[in-house]
Amino acid sequence: MSVLVSSTFSFTICFAIWMMFAVLGIPLKQQLGLSETQFGVLAAMPVLTGSLVRVPLGIWTDRFGGRIVFFALMLSTVIPIWLISYATQYWQFLVLALFVGLAGGSFSVGTPYVARWFPASRQGLAMGIFGAGNSGSALTKFIAPGLIALAGGAWTIVPQVYAVAMLVTALLFWVFSASNPAHRVVKAGGFASQLATLRNPRVWRYCQYYSVVFGGYVALALWMTKYYIGEYGFDLRTAAFLAACFSLPGGVLRALGGWVSDRHGAYKTTWWVMWVCWVALFLLSYPQTSLTVATANGALSFSLGFGPVTFTVLLFVVGIAMATGKASVFKFIANEFPDNIGAVSGVVGLAGGLGGFVLPILFGIALDLTGVRTSCFMLLYGAVCVSLVWMHFAFRAERLAADRAANASTTNASPSPVAARA
């Protein structure tokens, strides 16, 4: 249990720091005069490196153990986090954000590390509890605006506090975690042998699902604070608090998603997650609209669109669905690739992280081109449609193959009519 608690706490801090530009990027956007696209690039830059390192980190975890890899990873980010407070130019923030992004790779370390301490029947719940560290996204929305306010509007206090927090977290993790040499996966073929698993088409299917439920979650967590400010005119603290109404359930309830996946299966859980997202994102995609109709009695005007309360409720529903989906996708991996959880979770995490990197940039481009703020939800709605179609055809083919195999075995097991009469 100490492994699960220490790993979850560490991942929460890592995720909070990984998402720091969701809040920090707003005063920087004003200070540097950034466009929406430039803001999207800055916010997403840590997600890029946090995604690219997931495959090697997952493989190293399989080979060397999660404790040493997790500890070294956290220590490697302390200095870059601190140096952000001294940056003054856009390119400097981009470079430092790349190094800070290493913290996001902690997911691919902690997932196989935690899973191997539990039996298969409880791995979904265990990975869900660990994955609840995604709530660090909400944590940074509560802490960072308060720190900026306490410092009289000086944003430089945020990276300084976060650097100290990361150092302390790394030390606490080392004290309260443990190692088990039996959990290491050593194969004669080395990296090539482990990566061979990634040629399995099921892995790429899970990459698509995860790019929606995790990549979409990361993208919205980075984007929503600014969305509330631009769409509804809230100040930074209020906007960050409301954005946390999406980030918090999207992280904490991942444990619930693990339990549901253990109980009802990964396929059924993921299928319903996609349908809930499909409906909610369709509604959120509708922009604020004013409509005037010429009637016999004169002009009749209508206003269509969601106020902040209804919008936040719908966003809350999306957060719950994505939290559940993040756990159910990894339940697929634990069930089907027990000997390569690190390598497979690394590449699936990479796909999800790349989704979280690309989507904020696309959000900014779409907003710069159209001026429609809800275009971010339109893009996510399209991605969910792709996942639903892929799931339908992929699993239908697998079910038909299983039915044919079952029918063939039944036919072979039945005695022939002549043998029955004899």
Domain residue spans of the chain: 2-180+191-404
Q: Could you read off the pLDDT of 21-32 as tens digits, one per residue?
A: 989 999 999 899
Backbone angles phi, psi at 337, to 5 degrees: -135, 60
**pLDDT exceeds 50 at position 421:** no
Residue 298 forms beta bridges with which residues?
295
Q: Could you read off the pLDDT of 97-124 as tens digits, one per residue?
A: 999 999 988 888 888 888 888 887 777 7
Residue at 25: amino acid letter: G
Report pLDDT for 187. 55
The dihedral through the CA atoms of 170, 173, 175, 179 has a sign that is negative
**pLDDT exceeds 50 at position 422:** no
Q: Which of 23-27, 92-96, 370-374, 414-418 has the lowest mean pLDDT?
A: 414-418
pTM above 0.85, yes or no: no
pLDDT band at 292 (very low <50, low <70, confident <90, very high): confident
CA distances from 359 to 157, 161, 215, 259, 392 (A): 28, 28, 8, 29, 24
CATH code 3.40.50.300 for 2-180+191-404: no
Element (H, E) at 135: none
Contact 349, 107 (CB under 8 A): yes
51 or 317: which leads in pLDDT? 317
Per-residue burial over 272-284, b = 16 or more CB atoms within 10 Å of its CB, e = otherwise: bbbebbbebbebb
Please state the rounded mean pLDDT for residues 8-33.
Answer: 91
Round to whole Å and give the CA distance between 37 and 24. 16
Phi/psi region, residue 65 (left: phi>0; alpha: psi -120 to 50; beta: rest), is left
Round to whole Å and give the CA distance between 28 and 169. 27
Q: Could you read off the pLDDT of 374-399 as tens digits, one per residue?
A: 999 999 999 999 888 888 887 765 55
Q: Report which of 164, 186, 180 is spatially closest to residue 68, judged by C-alpha positions.
A: 180
Q: Could you read off the pLDDT of 191-226 as tens digits, one per residue?
A: 565 566 667 778 888 888 898 998 898 899 889 999
Contact 348, 210 (CB under 8 A): yes
Q: Could you read off the pLDDT of 343-380 as tens digits, one per residue?
A: 677 678 778 888 888 999 999 999 999 989 999 999 99
Report pLDDT for 418. 47
Q: Could you read off the pLDDT of 223-250 as tens digits, one per residue?
A: 999 999 988 989 988 999 999 888 888 7
| Token pair recorded at residue 231 | 């769409």
